[in-house]
Amino acid sequence: MAYRKVRFEYYQVAYRKSADGKNNRDRLFNLQEWMQKAMALSLEGRTYDYRSEQARLDTAYWDPELEFYFLHFVRLRDTNIPSKARASSQVEPFELDDDEYLGEEVSALYDEDNHILLLQRNKYSLGPEGIEEYLNLLWDRDDEMIYLRPVCPPNVFEEVRKASEYRRISLRFADLNVKASPRMIDKFRSPLGKIIKGFDEYDGINAQIIMTVGNNRSASLDEETVKDTLIDIEENSDLFSKAEIAKKDDDDAKVELVDLFEHKAHDFGTFRMEKKESLNHYRVAEELWKIYSPAEGCNNRQADINRYLLP
């Protein structure tokens, strides 16, 4: 049995008017109005060129049972097509008719009260930038620009320090020969100082290290050493081009991967996949609801996201 792990990210839908000054705050955009405009068009009418291919909103709707809006975007791909094979014959091209495409999908949940879009990530389909571009193409207002503003947990280093277990740290160093002076390294609290000094013997300027507990699900990296490492990373961020840490907040929580520099609020869903089966939009929509909804039996990430948005 195969499983597919899918990342979901949180964005607040905002917009700016062309007359807005630099000091004007972004306005919150009502995506419900955009959906009404989109769904009044035919499938062809809401299909736009996108990076030598095409993209469209396949559907957008209010689910009365789940009590949220859901959107289903598709990238229509007709390049880099895979081949197909049979057990008893050689591989052959997978041919598409002129009006056929491979559909690369992403699904989203929209919370109209807080203007939050919980978006599935699929590296083969539309990313946040592509969705943002598509929103503006369809909205077609010269005086307004729609943005997907990432929702970021405040004080990410403080949040990570509250964890009860640390499973993995992944760090990427950059331009050590320019930025890492001996005086700076001597001030490090954690073993990172010794590690960086060791890099110097290779005459290397970029490096990556990964520290993990391996397959032992009950183990944790040393708490005090990790906390010293977090201080060193926070105080010397110029030395790092990447810093991620996998942590658990308590015994019952799932392991969460946190990007210390690009710390978008996100969650993961895991789907069991049968052979020759694609990931259905409605399965993704239900998982988005289970993660976000305040309904009984759901994770109620809505409460966390609302807290992140407080000024």
Distance of alpha carbon 129 from its chain centroid, rounded?
A: 12
Residue 81 binned pLDDT confidence (cut-offs 50, 70, 90): low
Neighbouring C-beta atoms of residue 196, cutoff 10 Å: 21
pLDDT above 90 coverage of the chain, percent:
56
Q: For 40-74, how does the pLDDT look when each residue is reduced to its tens digit (9 = 90+)?
A: 999 999 999 888 888 999 999 999 999 999 999 99
Q: Are 257 and 246 in contact (CB under 8 A)?
A: yes
Determine the residue type at 53.
Answer: E
Non-local (6+) Cβ contacts of 247 within 8 A are 160, 163, 165, 166, 167, 255, 256, 258
Alpha helices in the chain (DSSP H): 31-39, 128-139, 156-161, 176-179, 182-186, 192-200, 223-235, 281-292, 301-309
Number of other residues whose CB lies within 10 A of the CB of residue 265: 20
Structure tokens at 301: 């990430």
| H or E segment and range at residue 49 | strand 47-50
Q: How far apart are CA 194 and CA 113, in angstroms?
A: 50
Q: For residue range 268-292, list pLDDT tens digits in order.
A: 898 888 776 778 999 999 999 999 9
Report how far apart the first and last C-alpha atoms of the chain are (Å, whole number).
45
Least confident range from 57-66, 215-224, 288-297: namely 215-224
Sign of CA dihedral 120, 287, 292, 285: positive
Q: Report the pLDDT value the prediction gives residue 94, as an integer from 0 to 100.
A: 62
pLDDT class for 251, splitting at 50, 70, 90?
A: confident
Instruction: Tell me the whole-structure pTM to 2 decimals.
Output: 0.76
Q: Which tens digits make up the pLDDT trace of 141-163?
A: 999 999 999 998 888 899 899 99
Label the pairing between strands 144-150 and 83-86: unpaired
With CA atoms as reference, report the closest residue to 190 among 144, 222, 143.
Answer: 222
